[in-house]
Amino acid sequence: MHPKEFHTRFLLLDSPEELSGADAALLASARQAIGMSYSPYSRFKVGAAARMVSGALVQGSNQENASYPAGICAERTLLSVAATLYPGEPIDTLAITYQGEGSSDVPITPCGICRQSLSEFQARTGKPMRLILRGATGPIWVFEDAGALLPLAFGAGDL
């Protein structure tokens, strides 16, 4: 037997003032994208914004449906927009934030399907994607590589 471990490293910031100007603006853009959320069932609004390698900005928000499995998370909405408008271009940094009916001072992390989608997007574009995660208030988590959220990811090489 050979025990193995996974360790995830991220930067913990106390406030947006600790971010670079470009990253603070990206987080503000994600916050703005919350306004495009269609979430009448969960009332859990998620906004995402990405800065492409070229510097272009893309936004996405969660879109629910009365047939719950038909909804799509903000991250996958954003990835679809980015892949359509900027085919083959990597995302440099992706910011995600949310507003719920209760307390929203804990950074949001992508769901399992979104983690898989982020992992595959960065694999196919060949560049690690930084993630900036935050609630409406509170601390900010910065990951240098989206793959850190999904160790042992299933990918094209597994097929």
Name the catalytic one among 5, 64, 75, 101: 75
Burial of 101 per CB tally in 10 Å (0-12, 13-18, 19+): exposed
Task: Name, in order, each residue with C-beta under 8 angstroms of 108's C-beta and a sequence gap of 6 or more.
Answer: 46, 96, 97, 98, 133, 134, 135
Question: Does residue 75 have an active-site annotation?
Answer: yes
How many angstroms separate the CA atoms of 157 and 139, rounded?
A: 36
Bridge partners (DSSP) of residue 47 are 61, 97
Q: Which residues are catalytic?
A: 75
